[in-house]
Structure formats: C-alpha cells, structure tokens
Amino acid sequence: MKKVLIISYFFPPAGTVGVFRITKFIKYLHEFGWEPIVLTLKQDVLDCPYEDKGFLKDLPADLQVYRTGVNRFVPFNAIEKKWVPNLLKEAKKIYCSVGFDAVLVSGPPFYASLAGFYLKKKYKVPFIFDMRDPWALSSYAKPETIQNHFDRFIVSFIEPKIIFCADVVLCASPFAVKKYSEYYSKYSDVNKKFIYLSNGFDQADYLALKAEEFLKFTIIHSGKGKVISLRKKNFLTAFQKFIQAKNFNKHDIQFIHIGEPELGLMEDVKRMGLCDYFYFAGYLPYKDCINKCIGADLLMIFTDNNIQEAFLRPTTKMYDYTACKRPIMAIGERIGILAQYIEEFNSNNMQLVEDSEDAILNGLEYFYNNRYLNKRAVVYDEQIERKYHRREITKRLSDILNEITR
C-alpha cells in the first residue's frame, strides 16, 4: 500500500474547523489504497482554545502520528513560523526512516507548505498543496502594521515558489481555482495544477445521533457570533417583528447560538428586549452541536459581506446543515459558492434571502408556517448530496494521488 505524509497544523483533538477536512481524508484513504502518516504540531503549543475528542474516533488505530514542538529562537511571534525548523527536520527524519510516496500539506496556516517544497526539491516526492482558504490572494484586510506589511512581502515571495513546486494545488472553492489560475497564468502555464476539491459532510457522523427535542419553535446558528453581527440589524428587527406579529412569548420560540459569542450581539439582544428568546450556548463539541441542529426547526447561515467569504471561503456549515435534513435559511447576497450550492439543490427548504427586514420576515413566516410538514427529515436531492460525502471526496483525492505518483 502506498503511503502519503499528511502535514497539518491543526489535528485532533483540536476543536476547530481546520481539522475536519484532514480527519476525513485520513479516515477514508485506506479504502482507496493509501496509508496516511501524520505530521503535526504538539497539542500543548497549539494556539487553539478548544478540544473535541470526538474527532479521534475517525482515526485508524494504527495511524502513525508525529508531533513536534516549535523553535523558540525563531524571531517571529507566530507559532506557525516557529514550527518550520522543527517541521522540516522531522519531515526529513520520517522520509528517511519509514518513507512515503507523496506529501499533502493542508492550510491555513500555510507556512507548513515549506515542508512540501523541501521534500519535493530534495527527494522528488510528489507534493499536493491543499489550500482550504486563499493565502497571498486573500481579500481579508489586516491592520497596517510594520509586521503585517513584512508578512505580506514574505508571503508574496513564498507563495509562488510553493505553487510552482507543487504537483497539484487543491482549492475548496471553484472560484478560488478560477482566481488562482488567472493570477498565475501570467507567469507560467499552471492552470491544470489547480483542482477544486470541495468540503462536505460524513454520513456516518449522523447515523448514531439522536435529535434533541425542543418544545418551542427553535432556530439555530452554529458558528462565530461575529458573523451574525455583520447581519444583525435587519435580522434582529425582523425577528422582533415576527414575535410581535405572532404574539409569541418565551415558551413559543427561541434562537440558539452555538459557538464563540460576540459581545456586541449580546448587548443588542438585551437592548431590544429579546433576552428571553435568545440562548447563547457557547462552544460545543461537534457531536453535541449536531444533536441540537438535527432537532431544530430552522438552521440559519449568516454570510459574511466580504468577497472572500462569498467566493473563496465556503462555510462548512452549509454541508453539515444539509446532512442534518433540516430546513435552511441563509441571509446574504445571491453571489458566491453558497448561492451556487443553494441553487444547485433548488429546494424550498433551502433558501437564500436578501439582508432586508421584509425578506427575512417573509422567510421566518414561511418556515414557521411549514413547521409541521418539516417535523420529519427534510428530503434533499440524494444524487447531489452524494457529491459532498466525505468518502466520495476522499476517493477523488486518492485518484489525484494515484495520478501524480504514477
């Protein structure tokens, strides 16, 4: 069986969205003739405040996992940069001791890609660079500090080296493939390097779960509270009007936010007299989060108004929500990968509404009026869903690995 070294900054039991994609690759690669080996950062130096040991169940019992620390003498504050010297040293050691046929480096953070560059240059190991988000072409603005200016300069130099060195560059958005292909076509014919490999959901995660039962009409958003805050003005007003129009009390309806809370949102909820209708659950392990989502009457997505979020950084919750078989309402513009995804399913139970009071109010009315029809599992298009199964996605990855190692 061929071996692939998978290098990832985030790895279980870290409780962050960055572990999903890699964990599911590792879970299913054996089925397609590949043995994964993992190189990651030691848990005690990882800058991740949460743990979720539920991800550990997906890892093969015989999985080889190498964890390294950081080099404190590296003159940068970022842990990912301090990791690079030890990472390169350990990658060489693993290659010389157990060997592997290919290397896949997943980011962000991205400086670990230097290990893929090193292994390809020194040992001719086929190299896949997995860009879950854009790197140098990111449209998220950072404060204008000397450090950030220096970082952008360094990245503008490093990223092309990595791109040209890699055999394949995976992107989690078709729009990222297009943007990167167009940008780098100015320098070389690299269009065929960029391949769209979507995120998705693992059916097995949902089979043994039991939906939490709610006595009220329950709306859930899982994710950062900061994202809700970008769309909170019209939503909170529409939600307030909806309560008033239906003459609801706190026993009739609730909005549950799961994830890192945002103080501004909590203050606005209090100011508008909506505290009885909002419950801030905080961070929950993935399994507990899904239990709640499966029991909800409506799942919400609040899109970022940043162009990167719309086109280049698809929110993974859209896949998880689909697997929950619950109605979905997203608030945002009809552009980008989320809009494309919702249009692909073409279902009344999956709607994208504009960020206006009237549109949000109409959406809430629709899903509330159809709540009894949707008490059972919502039926989406199974053929479309299959494209987003983690097993199918890993099969496509194995095909790519077979091709570059042929």
Indicate whether 290 and 355 sit together in one domain: yes
Range of the domain at 368: 204-386
Of the candidates 297, 283, 224, the residue with the CA atom closest to the CA atom of residue 254: 297
Q: Are 111 and 81 in contact (CB under 8 A)?
A: yes
Indicate whether 146 and 213 sit together in one domain: no
Domain count, the chain: 2
Q: Cα–Cα distance between 170 and 165 in angstroms, integer?
A: 14
Indicate whether 337 and 241 sit together in one domain: yes
The vertex-22 CA angle with 19 and 25, nearest 5°, equals 145
Indicate whether 170 and 209 sit together in one domain: no
Q: Are 278 and 269 in contact (CB under 8 A)?
A: yes
Residue 141's pLDDT is 54
Indicate whether 139 and 273 sit together in one domain: no
Instruction: Provide the pairing of β-strand 127-131 with 168-171.
Output: parallel
CATH number reported for the structural domain that contains residue 319 in this entry: 3.40.50.2000
Residue 81's pLDDT is 94
Indicate whether 275 and 215 sit together in one domain: yes
Indicate whether 160 and 235 sit together in one domain: no
Indicate whether 133 and 211 sit together in one domain: no
The vertex-340 CA angle with 378 and 19, nearest 5°, equals 75
Per-residue pLDDT of the chain (406 residues; tens, 9 = 90+): 999 999 999 999 998 988 999 999 999 999 999 999 999 999 888 888 889 999 999 999 999 999 999 998 888 888 999 999 999 999 999 999 999 999 999 999 999 999 999 999 999 999 999 999 999 887 655 666 666 777 888 898 999 999 999 999 999 999 999 999 988 887 766 768 999 999 999 999 998 788 999 999 999 999 877 777 778 899 999 999 999 999 999 999 999 999 988 888 999 999 999 999 999 999 999 999 999 999 999 999 998 766 666 677 778 899 999 999 999 999 988 888 999 999 999 999 999 999 999 999 999 999 999 988 777 778 899 999 999 999 999 999 999 999 999 9
Q: What is the DSSP string of 193-247?
A: GEEE----B-THHHHT--PPP-SSEEEEEES-HHHHHHTHHHHHHHHHHHHHHHT
Indicate whether 186 and 110 sit together in one domain: yes
